[in-house]
């Protein structure tokens, strides 16, 4: 078990208990806040998500060169499932 793993903490506001949260979840919130507060990272994430949506995915070969990812169907629209 890692140090702090499985521990729970009480978050307070103005000295009054507000929430009980696990350390891993708290650290996740802190990381998310850090990313959201950086416009450059948010712009990069939006571009990456747009590329993924449009099928513009790349993979690095063993020799270090980049090439379009195999098995990616480009510009494929997702269909709604007809099965329950």
Residue spans of the domains in the chain: they are 19-68
Tens digits of pLDDT across the chain (84 residues): 345 567 888 888 899 988 888 988 988 999 999 999 999 999 999 999 998 888 888 888 899 998 888 765 555 555 454 544
Owner of token pair 């507000």: 18
Q: Cα(23)–Cα(36) distance, rounded to whole angstroms?
A: 20
In the three-class reduction of DSSP (H, G, I as helix; E, B as strand; rest coil), residue 1 is classed as coil
The secondary element (H helix, E strand) that includes residue 25 is: helix 23-36
Query: Which strand (E) or helix (H) includes residue 50?
Result: helix 39-53
Q: Structure pTM?
A: 0.50
């Amino acid at each position: 078990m890692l140090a702090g793993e499985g521990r729970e903490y009480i978050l307070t506001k103005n000295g009054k208990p507000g929430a009980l949260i696990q350390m891993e979840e708290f650290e996740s919130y802190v990381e998310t806040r850090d990313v959201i507060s950086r416009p450059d990272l948010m712009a990069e994430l939006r571009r990456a998500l747009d590329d993924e949506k449009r099928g513009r995915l790349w993979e690095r070969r063993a020799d270090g060169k980049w090439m379009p990812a195999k098995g990616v169907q480009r510009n494929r629209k997702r269909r709604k499932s007809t099965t329950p």
